[in-house]
């Protein structure tokens, strides 16, 4: 990437004209990594996209059914805390409709300190109950409804946007996020929503926890292939980070 072009070469020129010695390329790899969100927005006109999920060792992200409207935890508490740190580092967090129905998540930062990301929720057919946590108005929330549905009433901190759910939606979601000047988004499921971004090849990183538990059946984890960028153990969970190079 030509980092000079991002300031159109003018920054260096102005410094040099002011007789300041300029050295370029210092810690270039580290700087590119640190500014990856900004560069992605500049170069691709969409936010930096991180896919994240936790899967059992036999490849499921949730059991087929459960008794309560809250998540069945697959990863351990340290992995979960790390996810809250990650949430605090991104501009937005996105989930699909079934995840809201199944888990009623808050999608905020609780086990870490930092800003809550903007919540982005898919609700094509306006089937989410108005009392779910993501509609509580505590955090700015974008709700993406199908263009055949009329825009919803205005409620505190809720913004309804329309997209055409019969077409490829990942690209349209990115356009909405771009409109709201969102620089990065962590997509936390469920499987269909994650697979949508994989299939449209619109993602930058996938962060996948694999635990030691098995479900034998359930909601199948997203399917993809990519190079492993890093791998570590979080106690008994394994965390693999993939990059879409």
Name the site residues for ligand NAP (rule: CB under 6 A). Answer: 53-54, 61-62, 71, 74, 95-99, 102-103, 122, 124-125, 127, 165, 169, 188-193, 196, 219
Report the nearest approach of ligand NAP to the CB of residue 57 (Å): 13
Q: What is the dihedral of CA 83, 88, 94, 100, to 10 degrees?
A: 60
Identify the bridge partners of residue 233 per DSSP, sorted by sequence position: 238
Report the nearest approach of ligand NAP to the CB of residue 39 (Å): 27
By beta-carbon proximity to ligand NAP, the closer residue of 14 and 57 is: 57
By beta-carbon proximity to ligand NAP, the closer residue of 89 and 200 is: 200
By beta-carbon proximity to ligand NAP, the closer residue of 47 and 218 is: 218
By beta-carbon proximity to ligand NAP, the closer residue of 125 and 157 is: 125
Q: Is residue 234 within 8 Å of 78, Cβ to Cβ?
A: yes
Rounded to the nearest angstrom, the gap between the alpha carbon of residue 165 and the centroid of all alpha carbons in its chain is: 19
Rounded to the nearest angstrom, the gap between the alpha carbon of residue 85 and the centroid of all alpha carbons in its chain is: 13
Report the nearest approach of ligand NAP to the CB of residue 94 (Å): 10
Eight-class DSSP state of 112 = S
Rounded Cα–Cα distance for residues 54 and 208 (Å): 6
Report the nearest approach of ligand NAP to the CB of residue 45 (Å): 21
By beta-carbon proximity to ligand NAP, the closer residue of 128 and 158 is: 128
Report the nearest approach of ligand NAP to the CB of residue 110 (Å): 16
Integer-rounded Cα Rg, in Å, for the chain is 20
- Beta strands 237-243 and 205-210, pairing class: antiparallel
């Amino acid at each position: 990437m030509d980092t000079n072009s991002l300031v159109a070469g003018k920054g260096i020129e102005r410094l040099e004209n002011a007789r300041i010695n300029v050295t370029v390329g210092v810690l270039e790899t580290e700087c590119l990594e640190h500014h990856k969100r900004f560069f992605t927005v500049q170069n691709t006109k969409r936010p930096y996209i991180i896919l994240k999920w936790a899967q059992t060792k036999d490849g499921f992200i949730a059991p087929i059914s459960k008794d309560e409207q809250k998540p069945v935890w697959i990863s351990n508490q340290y992995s979960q805390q790390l996810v809250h740190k990650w949430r605090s580092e991104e501009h937005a967090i996105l989930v699909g409709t079934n995840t809201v129905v199944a888990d009623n998540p808050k999608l905020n930062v609780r086990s870490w300190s930092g800003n809550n990301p903007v919540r982005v929720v898919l609700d094509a057919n306006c089937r989410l109950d108005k009392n779910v946590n993501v509609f509580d108005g505590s955090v700015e929330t974008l709700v993406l409804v199908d263009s055949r549905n009329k825009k919803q009433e205005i409620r505190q901190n809720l913004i309804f946007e329309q997209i055409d759910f019969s077409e490829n939606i990942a690209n349209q979601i990115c356009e909405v996020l771009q409109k709201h000047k969102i620089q990065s988004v962590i997509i936390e499921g469920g499987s269909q929503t994650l697979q949508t971004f994989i299939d449209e090849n619109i993602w930058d990183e996938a962060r996948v926890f694999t635990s030691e538990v098995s479900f034998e059946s359930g909601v199948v984890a997203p399917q993809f292939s990519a190079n492993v960028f890093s791998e570590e153990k979080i106690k008994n969970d394994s965390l693999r980070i993939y990059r879409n190079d």
